Amino acid sequence: MPTETVYGLAGDACNDAAVAGIFALKQRPQFNPLIVHVTDAAMAQRYVAWNDTAQRLSAAFWPGALTLVLPRLANCPLSLLVSAGGDSVAVRCPAHPIARQLIAAFDGGIAAPSANRSGKISPTQASHVRDEFPDSDLLVLDGGASTLGIESTVVDVCDGVASILRHGSITAEEIRAIGVAVEESAEPSSRSPGQLLSHYAPSLPVRLNASQVNANEALLAFGGAPLSGAASTLNLSPSGDVVEAAANLFAFLRALDRPEHAAIAVMPIPESGVGVAINDRLKRAAWR
Ligand code: TXA
Ligand code: MG
């Protein structure tokens, strides 16, 4: 299903077989839990124990790119697999109209990790999903290119304190601006196992903070003065806008990831606003 962040591999979050099928298709490690997508806070409360912080954050940012990790209700009907056997659930209310219609028509939580094989680049177009799983009989709902292009911000609010587990489209500053205090974990968190270092990996090596281009390198440029000499160049944002850069990031990484190039050189991206999430994804793409 399309969402405004990235495409998701969707299944009934209460159905063990459906959720197991998602893990199998993605080849995702079973210790990495899934996000459950809901239409609103009321649907989320069928599954998780709500609190004041969740209420304030959902009122400000839902529908939108904010995922809240909360305790499972004692009699939670969700598959235990969505929690990877743990006692919390990540819930998110997407803004994309097709995702919203799908969840509303189904009238229940939909588990959906990003629709890529585990460790690979997240898809932001329907064609990326088909390319990722060429041999499966997936039904791909084509909702156009994802407008935000980078995944949701994952915030643990289990104990009422907001702690960022994954940087994403919604920034820590935006959360603080509504008066909610935020803890940012510097380390990839074991509480959010998806935050392993190697992730979002193209086949080619990725070289960050490039100030020159080497022989046969492709260039992922940013801003008004792209480096010269690249075998192929795509500019994330000629005007230097990090929001535009986020929307282009995964599609451009896929497009440059071609065997005729030696590597992908990436120009520096400012560490401000959604630039924090972009740099987080690029670091993981470069790690090997
Ligand atoms: O924008 C998004 O969030 C997209 C779209 C499809 O909604 N989904 C997505 O799902 O990015 P996925 O599975 O690729 O990433 C989910 C992240 C992982 O880092 C996972 O470890 C973390 O959320 N997560 C899920 N459930 C969790 C939980 N109960 N506790 C802590 N972290 C959790
Ligand atoms: Mg993912």
Residue with tokens 């994952």: 154
The arithmetic mean of pLDDT across residues 245-260, rounded, is 97
| Of the candidates 105, 44, 51, the residue with the CA atom closest to the CA atom of residue 76 | 44
The arithmetic mean of pLDDT across residues 104-112, rounded, is 98
Q: Determine the pLDDT at residue 138.
A: 93
Ligand 1 mutation pick, 35, 79, 274, 284, max ligand atoms within 8 A of CB: 35
- What pairing do the DSSP bridges indicate for beta strands 162-166 and 110-111? unpaired
In tens, the pLDDT along 185-214 reads: 655 455 566 666 667 789 999 999 999 999
**Mapping DSSP to helix (H, G, I), strand (E, B) and coil, where does residue 227 land?**
coil
Q: Which residues line ligand 1 (CB under 6 A)?
A: 3, 5-6, 8, 32-35, 67, 69, 83, 86, 88-90, 92, 94, 112-114, 151-152, 154, 165-166, 191-195
> What is the number of the ligand closest to the CA of 103?
1
- pLDDT above 60 (res 174): yes
Rounded distance, CA 263 to CA 287, Å? 13
Distance from the alpha carbon of residue 199 to the mean position of ligand 1, in angstroms: 13
Mean of the per-residue pLDDT values of the chain? 94
Rounded distance, CA 162 to CA 174, Å? 13
CB neighbourhood size of 110 (10 A)? 23
Locate the ligand 1 atom nearest the alpha carbon of residue 89 and give its number: 29
Distance from the alpha carbon of residue 163 to the mean position of ligand 1, in angstroms: 14
Ligand 1 mutation pick, 72, 93, 132, 151, max ligand atoms within 8 A of CB: 151
pTM of the shown model: 0.94
Rounded distance, CA 280 to CA 164, Å? 13
Rounded distance, CA 35 to CA 42, Å? 16
Rounded distance, CA 231 to CA 236, Å? 16
Distance from the alpha carbon of residue 140 to the mean position of ligand 2, in angstroms: 17
Locate the ligand 1 atom nearest the alpha carbon of residue 151 and give its number: 1
Rounded distance, CA 48 to CA 162, Å? 16
In tens, the pLDDT along 13-47 reads: 999 999 999 999 999 988 899 999 999 999 999 99
The arithmetic mean of pLDDT across residues 57-66, rounded, is 98
Q: Determine the pLDDT at residue 196.
A: 61
Q: What angle do CA 33, 204, 213 make, to 5 degrees?
A: 130
In tens, the pLDDT along 116-146 reads: 999 999 999 999 999 999 999 899 999 999 9
